[in-house]
Structure 1
Amino acid sequence: MKTTIELADDLAVDAKRFAARHGVTLRSVIEEGIRMKLRTERTRAAFRLRDAAVDGSGLQPEFRDADWPAVREAIYEGRGA
C-alpha cells in the first residue's frame, strides 16, 4: 500500500543515514520500526497496582459520610494550612 507521511526533518535525516549505513531502504527501516512498536504494544503486560490494603474496619465513624473537603480539613487541622 502506498501512503504519504510527514516526518520531522531530523528524524528523516537520521532514518536515511541509518538505512544507508546498514545497506537497507528507508522503507524497510520505517516498516521495521512500525512492526517493533506494534509487537511491543501487543506483548506489554497490563500494569497492575499491587494490593496495599491494610487491616482495619474502614473509615472512622466521623468520616463515613463526610465529603472530601471535610476529610481534608480534618487532615490539616492544627497544621496552619
Structure 2
Amino acid sequence: MRTTVTIADDVLREARLEAARTNQSVSSVLEAALREHLVRTQSAARVDFVLPTFGGGGLLIDILDKEALAEALGDNEPIA
C-alpha cells in the first residue's frame, strides 16, 4: 500500500543508511521499525497479571519424599 508521510530529514537519512547497510529498501526498513514500535507499545499497554496467593501454613508435603507423596495421592503402596 502506498502512502505519504512526513519524516524528519535526519531520520530519513539514517533509514537510508540502514537500508544500504542491510541491502534492503528504505520502505522495508521503515516498515520494520514501525512494526517493532507497535509491538513494544502494545506490550507496554498490557496490564501485568498478578496471581493471588493465600497463606496456607507452608508446604504440606515434600514432593521429593516418594512415600509421603504416595500417601498424599491415596496410593498406599510404596513406590519402588
> Aligned to 1:28, what secondary structure does the other structure show?
helix
Distance in 2 between residues matched to 1:11 and 1:37, nearest whole Å: 15
Matched AA of 1:30? L
What is the TM-score when the length of structure 1 is the normalising length? 0.53
Residue 34 of structure 1 is matched in structure 2 by 34
Distance in 1 between residues matched to 2:47 and 2:40, nearest whole Å: 14
> Aligned to 1:10, what secondary structure does the other structure show?
helix
Task: Compute the RMSD of aligned alpha carbons.
Answer: 1.8
Residue 43 of structure 1 is matched in structure 2 by 43
Residue 23 of structure 2 is matched in structure 1 by 23
Identity %: 33
Aligned residues: 48
Residue 11 of structure 1 is matched in structure 2 by 11
Q: Deviations over 1:20-50 (max 9, x none)?
A: 01101100111001100110111115689xx
Q: Which portions of structure 1, spanning 4 or more consecutive aligned residues, are displaced by more than 3 angstroms?
A: 45-48
Unaligned runs of 5+ in 1: 49-81
> Aligned to 1:2, what secondary structure does the other structure show?
coil
